[in-house]
Structure 1
Amino acid sequence: MTSAPAEHPNNAAYFVAAFPGFLADDVLAVASTLPPSRRVPVQPFPVDVHGERVAIPYRVYDEAPDFALSASFSGRRMTVLDCLYTRHHDGRVRQRHLERILPVVEPWVAPFVVQLVGEYVVEIQRAIRDGLVDIDVPGTPQHDVYGTFLAANPRFLELTSQRVASYWDCYYRNKYPRKYYPGSIILESLRNAARRAAP
């Protein structure tokens, strides 16, 4: 008889590693409200946020936190929670939490949004396209934050670009000309912002 997988009641270390150090207390407070997880987060991807290396999980498997506990979070802690759940294994959960972080223009939020550009759910790409309303306007906070983040992470931008091209080719080639594919549209805006921010 196969035993049940061991629980991982506290994935806090993985979550803390996904954010700059100054957010550690907020991340730990959020992690303390999450139900026990039966799996650890997988395949963290490293990026640079204001000169600090973070490792964001590719997927997390935690169930939703108790609403009564999370309802008392400050705005910043709620944003931390939403960022983490953009990595959830369920695409509908990812999209719901993505839509809540899109208005938050912070360098530590940007990698969670950009990662979703390079994933396969076109509804999520449309949400990003509609949410990054100022990404094409130089001098706006969105343009500057995303541009600066991506200029510091050219490899991440290139990997995102490769994923966008691959998913378009596999799933959407017959539905969209490549330049009208939502992922391609967002990617071009992100590249332009990165070029303007490059030293």
Structure 2
Amino acid sequence: MKLPRDPSNVTHALVAAFPTRLVGDVQSVLAVMPETRLAPVMPFEVEVQGETVAIPSRIYNEEPGAGLERPLSGTQQMILHCLYSRHSDGRVRQRHLEQIVASGEPWVVPFVVQLAGEYVLEILEAIGRGLPGLAVPSSAQRRLYGGFIAQNPAFFARTERRVVSYWSCYYRWKYGAFGTYPGCILLEAFRDAVAEQVGAQWPRHTPPPLADAGEGPA
């Protein structure tokens, strides 16, 4: 469902994607973003450090010119990259993902995890490259992502199911075993991170890593 095109509603939709302490920074970012005739669509809610945020599934704004982006602070540039990681163009999403994936800010994490559940293979590979710490026990990235997933189990379960669906629809001809698909490799790393945080195995909503194209979720 698309939101009305009233600019105040569009502003509210994008401000709501971040913790309230960042409202001023988000408004500074929105001031340099070109307007669009299409409002953000289908927000999804997650919890970030005890606060609920609502992140749009897609935005349609053109990217601002480099001259407009330059005066933004480091935090504001990170916010801008987060928002454009939700862009309708997959190439735009990937460019901006690559600027945020290594961030240690908790409010960046849901933007990255959401992209892990999407269909662009190059984006999945970029996430894997940007999160090497997921393979390192007790690393900062493991704590960051494991903590987020522990707070948002339903969101992660939806992400798992999306990964399986896209593998099955678009990539199982290339990755006959689910475990070889980059999306599965990411999910396993996320699952290891949350298991380390909670001290127990995390529920699985995907086929086992060695499943072939004919097997369903365990």
TM normalised by structure 2 equals 0.86
Question: Identity over the aligned pairs, expressed in percent?
Answer: 51
Extract unaligned runs of 5+ from structure 2. 200-218
Give the deviation of 1:138 after TM superposition: 2.4
| Pairing 1:11-160 to 2, within 5 Å after superposition | 11-160=10-159
What is the distance in 1 between the residues matched to 2:34 and 2:187? 35
SS at match of 1:186: helix
Counterpart of 1:167? 166
What is the distance in 2 between the residues matched to 1:52 and 1:138? 27
SS at match of 1:19: coil
Q: Which has the higher contact order (CA 8 A, sep 6+)?
A: 1
What is the distance in 2 between the residues matched to 1:7 and 1:106? 30
More displaced, 130-139 or 113-122? 130-139
What is the distance in 1 between the residues matched to 2:13 and 2:198? 30
Which aligned segments of 4 or more residues in structure 1 are displaced greater than 2 angstroms? 6-11
What is the distance in 2 between the residues matched to 1:7 and 1:52? 26
Q: Structure 1: which amino acid aligns with 2:55?
A: I
What is the distance in 2 between the residues matched to 1:63 and 1:8? 18
SS at match of 1:53: strand
What is the distance in 2 between the residues matched to 1:128 and 1:61? 22
SS at match of 1:108: helix
Give the deviation of 1:161 after TM superposition: 0.3
What is the distance in 1 between the residues matched to 2:196 and 2:21? 28
Q: Structure 1: which amino acid aligns with 2:182?
A: P
Give the deviation of 1:9 after TM superposition: 4.5
8 Å contact from structure 1 (residues 44, 55) kept in 2: yes
Give the deviation of 1:89 after TM superposition: 0.2
TM normalised by structure 1 equals 0.94
What is the distance in 2 between the residues matched to 1:53 and 1:198? 21
| C-alpha distance 7-53 of structure 1, shift in aligned 2 (>3 A) | closer
What is the distance in 1 between the residues matched to 2:17 and 2:137? 28
Q: RMSD in angstroms over aligned alpha carbons? A: 1.3
Counterpart of 2:183? 183
